[in-house]
Structure 1
Amino acid sequence: MLLSQLTYFEALARERHFGRAAASCFVTTSTLSEAIRKLEKEVGSPLVNRSHSAFQGLTHEGELVLTYAQRITADQRHLEEDLAAVRGELSATVRVGVIPAGTGWAARLLDRIAEAHPRVRFDLRAGLRSEEIVEGLRAHELDAGIIHTTPEGVRGQRVTTVGSVRFTVVGVPALFRERFGSVPASLSGAELSTSAVALLSPGMLAREEFNRAMSEFDVQVTPVLDSDAVAALLSSAEEGRWFAVVPEWAPLSDRLCAVPLEDPEVRLSIAVSRLDTRPVTSVARAVDAAAAEVAAEVAAEVAAEMAAGGASS
């Protein structure tokens, strides 16, 4: 069994197309196909479902081999990176997945890594959901992620909290005036529960945290619309028929206004996450050090703001 065979097989599982997989590996389609057939012969089982030589998914055995292939190719990459670090300087491409709310945090993280390791390059994949990033880390497709997290963290991953984001209620001003007489300074969960509301989809971490916060206040909010995209919630709110609950970072059009949600306040932590593996790789150590630095900076900024607020009062 050759490492190249596992690399080609991993590429095929990712691209789900023989031609695209071959192109991503810079080989011909026939070379990739032959390598995978040799791999199937060595393991004694078909790994790929084919129809007229077209990719039709992995077999059960193929899914099992893929798990090991991802781990083996990741170990090879980490070994090369660690050897480069031992020789004097870390040289790697760090792949980072980022949720929409995390772009500013990602910029700070990457800046700290680049400052400590000038030869490091970055592959930033923005606009992902926390769940997609966690899955990408587990599949060794990402080295780090900026995600939403809960106090319990994420099983099998090292999580460093660097900040938080709260959720607000957005809608057209006319709807606020129709429902509450004016655009209020804030809204409570009880007030929201009697209104038509659009929320992020069930199963998403933000929705789970919203439901948990409302439950603690004995409030139940039944949405008229669920969506897994903040942009879709904002578009629906612009029509003026219902409100939407979105993170405060969400860019609003001139047609919308935002009102803080209080009693309860719904807030999600922003964290840097990576696989909790042993041994700890050079890239992982660089990510951990940068995350700790950003977290300390943010804590100092928050303390300074609180001190300034106390002094002014």
Structure 2
Amino acid sequence: MARARCLPAAPARHRGARMIDRLEMFIALAKARHFGRAAEAVGVTQPTLSAAIRQLEDSLGVMLVRRGSRFQGLTPEGERVLGWARRISGDVRGMKDELRAAREGLSGMLRLAVVPTALGAIAPLCQRFAAAHPKMRFSVRSATTAQLLAMIEDHEADAGIGYLDNEPLGRVVTVPLYTERYVAVMRADAPLATHERLRWADLSGAELCLLTPDMQNRRIVAGHLAAAGVEVRPVLETNSTVALISHVLATGWITILPERGAAIFLDGQPLLARPLTAPDAAHEIGLIAPWREPHTPLLDALLSEARRFARDR
């Protein structure tokens, strides 16, 4: 009778690598909520991803995914494992970044999620960081505050830039960068353009175009308008500041933007920005980073540069 052969166990380093790969696939599935899209996101076939999830379930001894003819969500155990998977994935990435930084200095990609109204104001910070760390590249994505926080939590962004003082942020590290004040942006031929300053109440009856209600800027602006007795019924809502300015130019409507965010649109255009008072509203914009100790070399460098940036301004 032939004797069965016992295959040698895989080396521990290979088992560990496979576990990390399976956790990454599980994170991708939780995000995509679809086996095919998750497989595409991590660059494997759908059967390979499905097998990896099954193997992860077998190794942990729990069911992580509710399955039918398609993905139906995570089990309660899957939700708990997802939190661990994100932390482990982030720690592994941080470890690799730290080792690479020790060998070569900072390099790779800095991923920032930024609220739309701050997109035009962060270029000086990126420029300073690039000058200090010339091997770095940048990925800047527009996001609502809620999306920004989720991207940090899911390790899709290294940090964010958004509002610090208007809505709860959770457990994060913050560095104030600048104070945001608001202006009404209009064509030079608009009736209200004859005023050097405007009260929020002066916008009563004006045709407004504003950011969408899921944007924190819109909630701030709508609150000030409502407090001044102005009915908030914009003729246009969009999640793009470029679209706002385009419609102001084309239609003569008025939009409300942060002073810094509006400034980049004024040069060479028949537009004016009038400060809004009564109240002279101000809100803090800053860097938002994950609460994690120790910080990666990348985050340490970014936090340090942000603090210098804020002091210099």
State the TM-score bracket (shorter-chain normalisation). 0.7 to 0.9
Q: 1:71 to 1:50 in 2, by over 3 A?
A: farther
What is the aligned partner in structure 2 of residue 303 from structure 1?
Answer: none
Superimposed CA distance per residue, residues 183-205 of structure 1 (whole angstroms, 9 cap, x where no aligned partner): 32221122123544444344532
1:6 shift after superposition: 0.5
What is the aligned partner in structure 2 of residue 96 from structure 1?
Answer: 112
The partner residue of 1:32 within 49, 69, 80 is 49
For structure 1, the 5+ residue unaligned runs are 299-313
- What is the aligned-residue identity percentage? 32
1:11 shift after superposition: 1.7
Aligned residue runs from structure 1 range 98-113, under 5 A: 98-113=114-129
Given the two structures, how large is their TM-score scaled by the length of structure 1?
0.76
1:187 aligns with 2:198: yes
What is the aligned partner in structure 2 of residue 44 from structure 1?
Answer: 62
1:294 shift after superposition: 1.4
Query: Is contact 2:117–2:217 with CA below 8 Å preserved after alignment?
Result: no
Aligned residue runs from structure 1 range 60-75, under 5 A: 60-75=76-91
Superimposed CA distance per residue, residues 130-152 of structure 1 (whole angstroms, 9 cap, x where no aligned partner): 33212211222111112233278
1:78 shift after superposition: 0.9
1:157 aligns with 2:157: no
Secondary structure, counterpart of 1:126 in structure 2: strand
CA distance in 2, matches of 1:146, 1:94: 13
What is the aligned partner in structure 2 of residue 258 from structure 1?
Answer: 273
Superimposed CA distance per residue, residues 169-226 of structure 1 (whole angstroms, 9 cap, x where no aligned partner): 234556x42xx5x6322211221235444443445322343355567xx523221127
CA distance in 1, matches of 2:118, 2:208: 25
CA RMSD of aligned residues (A): 3.2
Secondary structure, counterpart of 2:28 in structure 1: helix
CA distance in 2, matches of 1:91, 1:75: 17
Aligned residue runs from structure 1 range 217-256, under 5 A: 219-225=228-234, 227=237, 229=239, 230-231=241-242, 233-234=244-245, 237=248, 240=251, 243-248=254-259, 249-250=261-262, 251=265
1:82 shift after superposition: 2.3
1:279 aligns with 2:294: yes
Secondary structure, counterpart of 2:142 in structure 1: coil
Secondary structure, counterpart of 2:85 in structure 1: helix
Q: 1:48 to 1:245 in 2, by over 3 A?
A: same
The partner residue of 2:307 within 286, 292, 295 is 292
The partner residue of 2:146 within 122, 131, 145 is 131
1:46 shift after superposition: 4.2
1:13 aligns with 2:24: no
What is the aligned partner in structure 1 of residue 3 from structure 2?
Answer: none
CA distance in 1, matches of 2:181, 2:102: 42
1:88 shift after superposition: 6.4
Query: Is contact 1:47–1:60 with CA below 8 Å preserved after alignment?
Result: no
Query: Is contact 2:166–2:283 with CA below 8 Å preserved after alignment?
Result: no
Query: Is contact 2:117–2:257 with CA below 8 Å preserved after alignment?
Result: no
Query: Is contact 1:7–1:69 with CA below 8 Å preserved after alignment?
Result: yes
Query: Is contact 2:144–2:214 with CA below 8 Å preserved after alignment?
Result: no
CA distance in 1, matches of 2:252, 2:295: 52
CA distance in 2, matches of 1:285, 1:234: 37
CA distance in 1, matches of 2:248, 2:129: 39
Q: Which letter does structure 1 place at the counterpart of 2:87?
A: R
Q: 1:17 to 1:294 in 2, by over 3 A?
A: same
CA distance in 2, matches of 1:112, 1:188: 36
What is the aligned partner in structure 2 of residue 143 from structure 1?
Answer: 158
Aligned residue runs from structure 1 range 194-213, under 5 A: 194-202=205-213, 204-211=215-222, 213=224
CA distance in 2, matches of 1:83, 1:199: 46
For structure 2, the 5+ residue unaligned runs are 1-15
What is the aligned partner in structure 1 of residue 285 from structure 2?
Answer: 270
Q: 1:118 to 1:257 in 2, by over 3 A?
A: closer
Given the two structures, how large is their TM-score scaled by the length of structure 2?
0.76
Query: Is contact 1:130–1:205 with CA below 8 Å preserved after alignment?
Result: yes
Q: How many residues align?
A: 289
Query: Is contact 1:164–1:267 with CA below 8 Å preserved after alignment?
Result: yes
